[in-house]
Chains A and B, each alone.
Chain A
């Protein structure tokens, strides 16, 4: 089974680290790893989302191989070395290479893109349940401002009920803050599902077009007007972002912003706009290779390398407070007479907190 993930699946990513750490120095050095490097360059040329950059990177890796750059590297260290070089040459942080016999065996038996894709498991994995499908906190802040701290995009197939519940708790707020500072990404389909709750148009809203080199397909990334539950259709949205806001989390902030539906607050994001799959290489090695990119429906661009444009730049640590203040300032414009004094006091208190 191959599941398409926006960036690496975190569970697997941590397996990568463990595998690399455990296999350090466990086999004889002295190999030149030529076959492995060629399997990486083949993968680049045939799968990597940007063909020109793929060719340049493949040539550079082959040059380094010729120069003996990978000679004598232990089995446990060659994966990290290739991963480092790939990320450096392509400037694409999504790449990962690891020695992982178990995953290699599974992927050989059932490679990505072989007919079936996106076949979700029957029930969410225990990690998803323990993380509440990413919905870490739903809170009513002072001034009738809703806060959603959303930490990971789990499978959209299993996230529907939690999403609907979170929105139900936020739907009556005068403004909503989505804290994405700790959100590294996840399931691409979940971006469209969550975004659906911020529009009430009867027709789908086109957010982006996705181009996948593996499948050769171009698909529409759009909202689902039929997603069950209430909507946060008019309250302004503030997406709080920072250096650890990655991939799918960047997509959500970018799409909502370009649709005029959100203001981004915080610091520069990771800058990873490519989705991909984990592929088997050779000799028990596996590789995450980005195969697809998104073209935003409004800007025509994406956030690869640059990160999401920030409307209100500020220190990441104070960004949630800044967003709360912006939300309160919005609430003050709603003209509820009886609230004005308490909103002014609240805004002053938030400004004081930011000054400290």
Chain B
């Protein structure tokens, strides 16, 4: 068996290759070779394939040095894999390096039955239509295009008709650039193909260009829909490519944390005799606009925020964008979705002075200060006191109700003179202050 057999080409990430590997090998069990043969084999593979020849040579020498000093004596399987991974990553600072135990040999060449393998959503863990008509997708990875394509088209079909899109890549570890290409193709005008990214591969000394696919139907593409992309320090590799592609084309606003910083696609190499799989970075991304990539530095967001806050920020920005669109229906819907979002988040703080300015009688509407908060009651609407949640300058909603808001009005002297109720489903009504 050829020890340097390529298992999977141009994978941009982690954890997406297990199926392909399991299906690719089937041979009788043979005794394990010793550690030194395995490490030498790995060093040679790196020397011949790592994207930067000088650095590959140095990394190979490092492994051979360690071997000579007995650093790997007595190690096998997971322990050996982890030790080799750590040494390679620390030495090269390239997080795409990885060594792990080879998956078990399969008994036969037949494909696993559906019941034996948990099925995958191919990265599309959730597709949701959020309040205000925002299409949201929790995209955890880019599965091999050959498997994932029907899922990609289905997910994009469900996103069509959204007034804004949010791609959540905070848990995205990367994957197949071909799948990234398909998703991106929906986000540009099909009549004007866009050069998204290029990948240079050292083993073939070739550069592959990735362009948007013109075969996406015009009726299905969303070239005008504003996009927000959520990132975290976990976002890696293909996830970063997606974010970087859109950022460099000014097609999306990135919100969150600077990403992990891995721009080198890997090939898988079997070392030893079916003992370990080594992921060796064999290529690098070249963005057509910057001529650069994100290796080692990550993709910086447009709006820096802790990952866990990124979604709320993106929703708020998307709703503000829509509210300002001037498109009838869309702007109103967005404004009300914003009210619901602000109310859900507990509202803004309000000073006691301000509460006292507002408290009073407005016809049937009464506002009182109680327990350090403002409370509201309308006599002909059940007579229940409800807490007011401040969502803006002199603007409030009732706690737990998101289709009604109150805006207090002030005269020239700044004194509160009245209040207008705004309803989602009907026109406003005004009550003048009486006390």
Question: Interface residues, chain A, CB within 8 Å of chain B?
Answer: 14, 17-18, 21-22, 126, 129-132, 135-140, 144, 161-162, 164-166, 168-169, 172-174, 334-336, 339
Contacts and interface: CB of A to CB of B under 8 A. Distances in A.
Contacts, number: 80
A130 B328 CA distance: 13
Interface string B115-138: 110111100111111000101001
A165 B129 CA distance: 14
B213 to A, nearest CB: 18
B151 interface: yes
B425 A169 contact: no
11 contacts: A18-B426, A132-B129, A135-B129, A137-B126, A138-B127, A139-B126, A139-B128, A168-B150, A168-B154, A169-B154, A169-B158
Interface of B: 114-116, 118-121, 124-129, 133, 135, 138, 150-151, 153-155, 157-158, 161-163, 329, 333, 425-427
Contacts of A130: 133, 161, 163, 329, 333
B426 A21 contact: yes
A125 B153 CA distance: 23
A257 B153 CA distance: 31
B139 to A, nearest CB: 12
A165 B154 contact: yes
A136 to B, nearest CB: 5
A144 B158 contact: no
Nearest to B426: A18
B143 to A, nearest CB: 12
**Which one of B126, B127, B128, B426 has the highest number of Cβ atoms from chain A below 10 Å of its Cβ?**
B127
A137 B127 contact: yes
A50 B397 CA distance: 44
A172 B425 CA distance: 41
B115 A334 contact: yes
A22 B428 CA distance: 11
A139 B129 contact: no
A161 B427 CA distance: 36
Given A169-B154, A169-B155, A144 B119 contact: yes
Contacts of B138: 139
A339 B426 contact: no
Contacts of B129: 131-132, 135-137
Contacts of B121: 140, 169, 172
B119 A138 contact: no
Nearest to B328: A126
Given A21-B426, A22-B426, A140 B157 contact: no
A169 B126 CA distance: 9
A164 B126 CA distance: 16
Contacts of B161: 129-130, 132
A139 B114 contact: no
A136 B128 contact: yes
Given A137-B126, A168-B150, A162 B118 contact: no
Contact of A165 (B133, B155, B426): B155
A137 B118 CA distance: 22
Contacts of B150: 168
Contact of B126 (A129, A140, A144, A161): A140
Nearest to B132: A130
B158 A135 contact: yes
Contacts of A137: 126-129
B158 A132 contact: yes
Contacts of A174: 118-119
A336 B133 CA distance: 39
B158 A165 contact: yes
Nearest to A140: B121
B338 to A, nearest CB: 15
**Which one of A14, A169, A172 has the highest number of Cβ atoms from chain B below 10 Å of its Cβ?**
A169
B157 A161 contact: yes
B245 to A, nearest CB: 24
Contact of A172 (B116, B119, B127, B157): B119
A132 B150 CA distance: 19
Contact of B124 (A132, A135, A169): A169
Contacts of A172: 114, 119-121
Nearest to B158: A165
B119 A173 contact: yes
Contacts of A173: 119
A166 B153 CA distance: 11
Contact of B118 (A22, A129, A144): A144
Nearest to A168: B154
**Which one of A135, A136, A165, A166 has the highest number of Cβ atoms from chain B below 10 Å of its Cβ?**
A165
Contacts of B120: 172
A86 to B, nearest CB: 23
Contacts of B124: 140, 169
Nearest to A136: B129
Contacts of A168: 150-151, 153-154
Contacts of B153: 165, 168
Contacts of B151: 168-169
